[in-house]
Amino acid sequence: TTATQQTVAMGCNRDRCNTVPKTHSLTNYHYIVQRTSDEFKLELYNGGPFYTSFYVYEDFTWFFGQFPTLAYNKQWGQQMGGHAVVLIGWEASCVYHDGTEQTEGGGNVQAALVEAERGADSQGENTGAKHLADRARRHRQHSGASRRRSATGACWHLRNTWGDRWADNGYFRMYQEMLTGPPGVHIHIASAAGDGVKSST
């Protein structure tokens, strides 16, 4: 053997195949038809974490950059599509943003958006700056001189797929009504849980 082969052999973990978790697959699954808070809690209690999805709005990623441990409650922005996550539990009492004029933003961001609004007003309605102007108005509504207003209530605890540097080490909270409020408002497609797993071996 060459010196390179000897070096590789010394650094190789020969027991790796015995230490890496084995692949598993679901044997079956079922939909959670009644998407109410009581049904979700019952499913969590009896079967553990399960898949669910919801509509993402423009303020979703911004919110957790500012308030990583608070519960998300949609404040502003257009719907950006659906997003799948894992529901892992619930909390009877957590802090979420409530109503308008709640979220405080940085002064530099605010100044830039106000400047964009001025540019849009001078250039007319049919420009890209008009879109920025609309965002500036929304931002001012939620980050003006008034204090951030919050409330305490029930929320869901979820695991995202964006890595452990996002929000609360990869986990986040969502105001209960955002996920199990009026049907079809915020929840996307479906929620489903596995009925069992089998090993690939």
Is residue 129's pLDDT more than 80?
A: no
For residue 16, being part of any structural domain is answered with no
Task: Find out whether 19 and 167 touch, Cβ atoms under 8 Å.
Answer: no
Domain boundary among 113, 130, 146: 146
Task: Reduce the DSSP state of residue 23 to 3 states and report it.
Answer: coil
Under the phi-then-psi rule, with left for phi > 0, alpha for psi from -120 to 50, and beta for the rest, what region is 77?
A: left
Spatial CB neighbours of 9, under 8 Å, sequence gap ≥ 6: 1
Query: Looking at residue 3, what is its pLDDT?
Result: 54
User: Which residue has better confidence, 70 or 147?
Assistant: 70
Based on C-alpha coordinates, what's the Rg of the chain?
A: 23
Task: Say yes or no: 161 and 99 in one domain.
Answer: yes
Task: Say yes or no: 116 and 196 in one domain.
Answer: no
Task: Kindly report, residue by residue over 132-142, the tens digit of the pLDDT.
Answer: 556 555 555 55
Task: Say yes or no: 42 and 127 in one domain.
Answer: no
Query: Looking at residue 121, what is its pLDDT?
Result: 46
| C-alpha span between 157 and 54 (Å, rounded) | 14
Query: Looking at residue 170, what is its pLDDT?
Result: 94
**pLDDT band at residue 114 using 50, 70 and 90 as cut-offs:** very low
Residue ranges making up the domain that contains 134: 104-146
**pTM for this model (two decimals):** 0.63
The Cβ of residue 105 has, within 10 Å, a number of other Cβ atoms equal to 15
Task: Kindly report, residue by residue over 172-194, the tens digit of the pLDDT.
Answer: 999 988 888 766 566 656 677 77
Angle in degrees, 0-180, between the axes of helices 107-123 and 128-143, rounded to the nearest 10? 140
What the block records as the tokens of 165 is 């540097």
The pLDDT > 70 percentage for the chain reads 54
Could you tell me the CATH number of the domain that includes residue 97?
3.90.70.10
> How many domains does the chain fold into?
2
Instruction: Note the Cα 53 to chain centre separation in Å.
Output: 10
For residue 2, being part of any structural domain is answered with no
Least trusted range by pLDDT, from 80-89, 90-99, 106-115, 156-165: 106-115
In Å, how far are 129, 159, 183, 198 from 169, measured between CA atoms? 36, 9, 30, 29
| C-alpha span between 2 and 34 (Å, rounded) | 64
User: Which residue has better confidence, 164 or 110?
Assistant: 164
Task: Say yes or no: 93 and 157 in one domain.
Answer: yes
User: What type of residue is 186?
Assistant: H
E-strand spans in the chain? 24-31, 50-57, 71-72, 79-97, 150-159, 171-175, 192-199
For residue 13, being part of any structural domain is answered with no
Task: Find out whether 169 and 187 touch, Cβ atoms under 8 Å.
Answer: no
Task: Say yes or no: 94 and 26 in one domain.
Answer: yes
pLDDT, mean over the chain? 71
Task: Find out whether 99 and 158 touch, Cβ atoms under 8 Å.
Answer: no
The total number of residues shown for the chain amounts to 201
Task: Reduce the DSSP state of residue 195 to 3 states and report it.
Answer: strand
